[in-house]
Structure 1
Amino acid sequence: MIAEEEPRKPATVHQIGCDLSAISADELHHRIAQLEDEIGRIRAEIIRKDASRKAADSLFGPKV
């Protein structure tokens, strides 16, 4: 069988609260890395949204 013809392993998607007992330590490390990447992505989006809100507030906020 050629490598291109081998069935691909489905992408691992972590679900919060799922049973972890049947998952290898290597896979758990991989999931942690994925979740840390996602946390970073979410934090970056929060920073962008806060900056947009602050810019809007400076334009449309109350003038004192």
Structure 2
Amino acid sequence: MDLDDILGARPDDPLAALLREDLDRLSVSELEVRVVALEGEIARTRRKIDGAVNHRASADALFKR
């Protein structure tokens, strides 16, 4: 899978902008804060995925798919 497949072609995509951001200007402390924030976002995203999978499994069981 190509990175463009994940990020899309939108130049204003916030994820693409985040990945392009220059980290050299950040201090160690700022980088640590950034990692904590990103780990929180990863956890939130994983919860959303789990919820979607569970919802789908419930719907499939209900309709005996």
Q: Structure 1, residues 19-41: CA drift from partner, whole Å, max 9, x if none? A: 11111110000000000000000
Report whether the alignment pairs 1:16 with 2:12. Answer: no
More helix by share: 2
Q: Percent identity?
A: 37
* Ranges in structure 1 where 5+ consecutive residues have no aligned partner: 1-13
Q: TM-score, normalised by structure 1?
A: 0.69
Shift of 1:61: 3.4
Match in the other structure for 1:26: 29
Match in the other structure for 2:56: 53
* Ranges in structure 2 where 5+ consecutive residues have no aligned partner: 1-16
Question: Which entry has the higher C-alpha Rg, 1 or 2?
Answer: 1
Match of 1:40 among 40, 43, 49: 43
Match in the other structure for 1:9: none
Any idea what SS the aligned residue of 1:32 has? helix
Moved over 3 A (4+): none
Backbone CA RMSD of aligned residues: 1.5
Match in the other structure for 2:11: none
